[in-house]
A = this chain, B = another copy of it.
Amino acid sequence: MGSSFGKLFTISSFGESHGGGVGVIIDGCPPRLELDINEIQNDLNRRRPGQSKITTPRNESDEVEILSGLLGNKTLGTPIAMVVRNKDHRPKDYSEIKKTFRPSHADATYQKKYGIQASSGGGRASARETIGRVAAGSVAKQLLNKSAKTEILAWVKRIHDIEAEIHPSEVTFDEIEKNIVRCPNQSAADLMIQRVEAFGKEGDSCGGVIECVVRNPPIGIGMPVFDKLEADLAKALMSLPATKGFEVGSGFGGTYLKGSEHNDPFLPSDSNQLKTATNNSGGIQGGISNGEDIVLRVGFKPTATIRKSQKTIDEDGNAITLKATGRHDPCVLPRAVPMVEAMVALVLADHLLRQRGQCPD
């Protein structure tokens, strides 16, 4: 259970880090959507390991194969199944951590929950699981773009204590992709890259914050009460591995303001659009999008796998000293940027369809 997401634009994900492969089925994508398959592969390439000197050197090409749901490059309205084969097994690297509960990993909790777990590599808790999310999210991005010219961009806002000043309303995709850390402020990016490399050399790791903007979101999507847009976004993003916090609009910072400071005055307008003087709401009011930019941030903890030796226990509760030797990311954030975009896109696509279902005009 727990491997499906979305009510109308529904994805079902499968696959362990080792085994035949990982993948996803999208059920509910509208018909006659012209897909750019290259964009899907590009998003997977932005996610894949081995893409730069600050990611894990594991080299997986992660080529996607689409098994169903298309006529040429047009969607049929039926399930779109996408599979990426696991190529670079190398289970030997993971052998020593096989029976050990690695600190702050899922080894121990999976064992308590299921009484069994994948022999190596993190199984279902491996970041490799996110391949399905990114592939499906890429389709969702294309749907949103075709339907409402919606644009979703995420970037690295902070790594460790290096925070970049960035204006969400102005960031471009090219600025983000210009450097390997995916921070559209080049001077901050340079410092971030140095910091990640330094931690990598120490055998340590670091975390930070990813920020995301949605421009031209569909207006009026999101539901009252439980399925508020920010609630579904929070779930989507807190379901990514290594996340510790989520905020939307003014976020935790906004909780220091007075009501008179925080409220977003509506501006007079001839059009049918809503326009606010400020955007502390982050584009969402009462759980429903108002058409302003949706802005959110996600906190990622430092990667749990480090080369430094650590005290822990084995399956039987015995004390053990662990020194991991596998190839891991000293910082997940650059690779997590397309994951954040994907999850945001999946939520918006789902709510776009839900809005059409209940309020078709």
Q: Which residues of B contact A222 (CB under 8 A)?
A: 109, 113
**A192 interface hit (Cβ, 8 Å):** no
- Nearest B residue to A304 by beta-carbon distance? B263
Cα(A220)–Cα(B15), bound, Å: 21
The 10 closest A-B pairs by CB, nearest first: A106-B286, A2-B223, A357-B357, A2-B227, A205-B259, A235-B235, A245-B247, A20-B67, A109-B288, A231-B239
Q: Which residues of B contact A356 (CB under 8 A)?
A: 356-357, 360
Cα(A206)–Cα(B235), bound, Å: 26
Cβ contact within 8 Å between A255 and B12? no
**A101 interface hit (Cβ, 8 Å):** yes
Please give the distance in Å from A62's CB to the nearest CB on chain B.
15
Q: What number of copies of this chain does the assembly contain?
A: 4
Cα(A254)–Cα(B104), bound, Å: 13
Cα(A71)–Cα(B20), bound, Å: 12
Cβ contact within 8 Å between A260 and B204? yes
Q: How many residues of A contact B (CB 8 A)?
A: 157
The stretch of A49-57, A169-177, A178-186, A307-315 in contact with B is A307-315
Cα(A109)–Cα(B292), bound, Å: 11
Residue from B78, B108, B286 in contact with A290 in the complex, judged by beta carbons closer than 8 Å: B108
0/1 string, A262-294, CB within 8 A of B gives 1: 111111111100101000111011111111000
